[in-house]
Structure 1
Amino acid sequence: MTKINIMALRHSAFYSPLLMTMAGGFLKAEGLEYHYDVATPDKTVPDSIANGSCHVAQSAVATRLVELEKGIDSDIVHFAQINARDGFFLASREPDDAFSWQKLIGKRVLVDHFFQPLAMFKYALFKQGVDAPAVEFVNVGDVNAIDAAFRAGQGDYVHQQGPAPQQLQRDGFGHVVASVGDAVGPVAFSSLCASREWCKTDMASAFLRAYKKARAYVIEAPAVDIARQEMDAGFFPSVDPEVLAHTITDYQALGCWEPETAISETSFEHLQDVFLHSGQISRRYAFKNVVVRV
């Protein structure tokens, strides 16, 4: 077996196509044994790819756009999509079957302030006819701090990636009322990236074969089966199995995981719409400078 080092910028059920590439035995069938890490401030995706400790990583096409805006040169390219929509949800304090985005006006929302979730949330407000300054954005820190703060009573709403809001609901602290993915629509959200050189290797070809099979599986398989395998692999030790299955069902229903693995130019341009609106880029960048076909 050949060892392949895989890194995630963030760890979530949202990335089940990649997680099941590992947990579902698809890599093993290609002769690859995985080592999986989650990035930290001291061990980033770009640094790990550059020093060779990571072969392939879950990241976001937007990371390269921001680098290009800053004039940063990089050998990292994005070669396959993971999610074709944003995977964040809004949860409220009380059930609200009649929720509308206008209800956020004047309310305190614990918003994930990482660059892409923040840009997407602002664009969702724009698409839904809400002026961002009319909403009180509360920044309490990282994903763990956001969850703890809402459980402690801070904020009227919380903005989180699954399965965190679904677990909040299960624990009686919140109720999922909306999806940012629904509000924004299709976009090149999360992706797989690697060095240009690695993308030309036999390992890359074997990985992509495994990934395509895993992706097809998570689109069609019962969520409970996917959740069981991810739990067995140790990916979500503190999440209730029913909550994990519910979250995966939500993502299947949203259409986050499309059959096509290639990142489309249309979704890339939609992504640039989001980041132009947020002011994080000042102009459009060429598709070929960010995305490759493997």
Structure 2
Amino acid sequence: MKYVKYFFLLIVSLSGVILFTACGGQDEKKTEVRLAEVTRSIFYAPLYAAISEGFFEEEGIDVDLTTTWGGDTTMTTLLSDGADIALVGAETSIYVYAQGANDPAVNFAQLTQTDGTFLVSREPVEDFDWDDLKGSTFLGQRAGGMPQMVGEYVLKQNGIDPHEDLELIQNIDFGNIPSAFASGTGDYVQLFEPTATQFEEDGVGYIIESFGTESGNVPYTVFMAKQSFLDGNEDTIERFTRAIHKAQLWVQEQPAEVVAESIVDFFEDTSLETIEQVVIRYRDQGSYAESPLLQEDAWYLLQEIMDEAGELPMEVSYEDLVNTEIPTRIMNE
């Protein structure tokens, strides 16, 4: 019996070694993906859920997430090989392509499909009409960025000439726009969440309209990679996209409070209640894409919006800068 006991202990010990080695082997097989996000926003909730809920881990991916603050910086980081994948507005890929890039940035998965800004007034407004903006001072976003282009597009669709019918202020840095409005600049302002909701909670301003619902579906924020990276790492891109799609479905299915609890650690200065409210607002207006597949009509609406703003350097075909094969495979699984 003594020898049987020792034999059993030996087997258990060896099993532990084997299990440890196997686990270590799995860790070693994880693929690190360097991801640069254009900003940190509840607008990107499915991305953070993919991390916190372990969807990337399930696909053998270890995401190294960096916030690069701004479209220009994010694209520079991607093109200089400082990141493998960028989360940024699809318009940046058009700007790069128009400059004759030999290794263009290709969009392979959509994360948000509407604009994420809201029209906020200084005073409460009942029965708002877009004509109310005529003669007002409007604090907009910087020229050439998607928020400003969509903002101008929506104003024009509602019969407002942003350069004739109101005083348009767009020379304030993105990060200083909220404080400028809070200190008294402008009658109306175009704001992202959670600032818009926080302004309502503090009585600083009042959300009266959504640019996202007014503009229609556009590939507002997408995951993109250089063509060379896509060609050499198709399996990694496919696993990455599968994790994102899992998170997209999860965010749609879960109660807003569960989503908020999942991503709260990414927003240390925002209360759980505010995050929940923002998730509800974005989800209700269809901002979170339910599919990673960037639609062709949305691609050309994006270019129409850019053209209206005088920012479209050239028309680029859907086939040139949108990879549909990978997200289609994921959707058909």
> The TM-score by the shorter chain falls in which range?
over 0.9
In the TM superposition, what are the counterparts of 1:1-294 in structure 2 within 5 Å? Answer: 1=27, 2=30, 3-40=32-69, 44-113=73-142, 115-133=145-163, 134-200=165-231, 201=233, 202-232=235-265, 235-281=266-312, 283-293=314-324, 294=326
- 1:8-41: per-residue Cα shift (whole Å, max 9, x none)? 1122111112222222221122222222111147
User: How many residues are paired up?
Assistant: 292
TM-superposed deviation, 1:50: 3.0
Larger Rg: 2
Partners of 2:174 and 2:203 in 1: how far apart? 19
Task: Tell me, yes or no, if the aligned pair for 1:83 and 1:189 is still in contact at 8 Å.
Answer: yes
Distance 1:122 1:146 in 2: 17
Partner amino acid for 2:217? Answer: P
Deviates more, 1:264-273 or 1:109-118: 109-118
Distance 1:271 1:41 in 2: 19
- RMSD of Structure 2 on Structure 1 (CA): 2.0
Flag the 1:132–1:72 CA change in 2: closer, same or farther, 3 A: farther
Q: Match of 1:184, as an amino acid?
A: S
The one-letter amino acid paired with 2:170 is N
Q: Which amino acid aligns with 2:155?
A: L
Alpha-carbon distance change, 242 to 80 in structure 1, aligned in 2, over 3 angstroms: same
Change (3 A) 1:205 1:157: same
Amino acid across the alignment from 1:262: L
| Residue type of the alignment partner of 1:178 | E
Q: Structure 1 CA distance, aligned partners of 2:243 and 2:262?
A: 16
More helix as a share of residues: 2
**C-alpha distance in structure 1 between counterparts of 2:213 and 2:72, whole Å:** 33
Distance in 2 separating the partners of 1:34 and 1:70: 30
Q: Give the aligned residue type for 2:316.
A: Y
Q: Distance between the aligned counterparts of 2:269 and 2:213, measured in 1?
A: 28
Pairwise CA distance, 1:137 = 1.4
Residue 239 of structure 1, CA deviation: 1.3
Using CA pairs under 8 Å that are at least 6 residues apart, name the structure with larger relative contact order, 1 or 2.
Answer: 1
Instruction: Tell me the TM-score normalized by structure 1.
Output: 0.92
Q: Secondary structure at the match of 1:91?
A: strand
Q: Which amino acid aligns with 1:218?
A: V
Paired letter, 1:14: F
- 8 Å Cα contact 2:75-2:92 kept in structure 1: no
Q: Contact conserved, 2:34 with 2:84, CA < 8 A, in 1?
A: yes
Equivalent AA in structure 2 for residue 146 of structure 1: I
**1:206 CA drift (Å):** 1.5
Contact 1:17 1:211 in 2 (8 A): yes
Q: Is the 8 A contact 1:128 1:183 kept in 2?
A: no
Q: What is the identity percentage for the equivalent residue pairs of Structure 1 and Structure 2?
A: 26
Instruction: Report if the CA contact (8 A) 2:97-2:104 is conserved.
Output: no
Q: TM-score, normalised by structure 2?
A: 0.82
The structural deviation recorded for 1:73 is 4.6
* One-letter amino acid of the counterpart of residue 79, structure 1: F
Cα distance in 1, alignment partners of residues 256 and 120 from structure 2:
22
Q: Conserved in 1, the CA contact under 8 Å of 2:39 and 2:69? A: no
The answer to whether the Cα contact below 8 Å between 1:93 and 1:175 also exists between their aligned partners in 2 is: yes
Relative to structure 1, is the Cα distance of residues 285 and 43 closer, same or farther in structure 2, using a 3 angstrom cutoff? closer
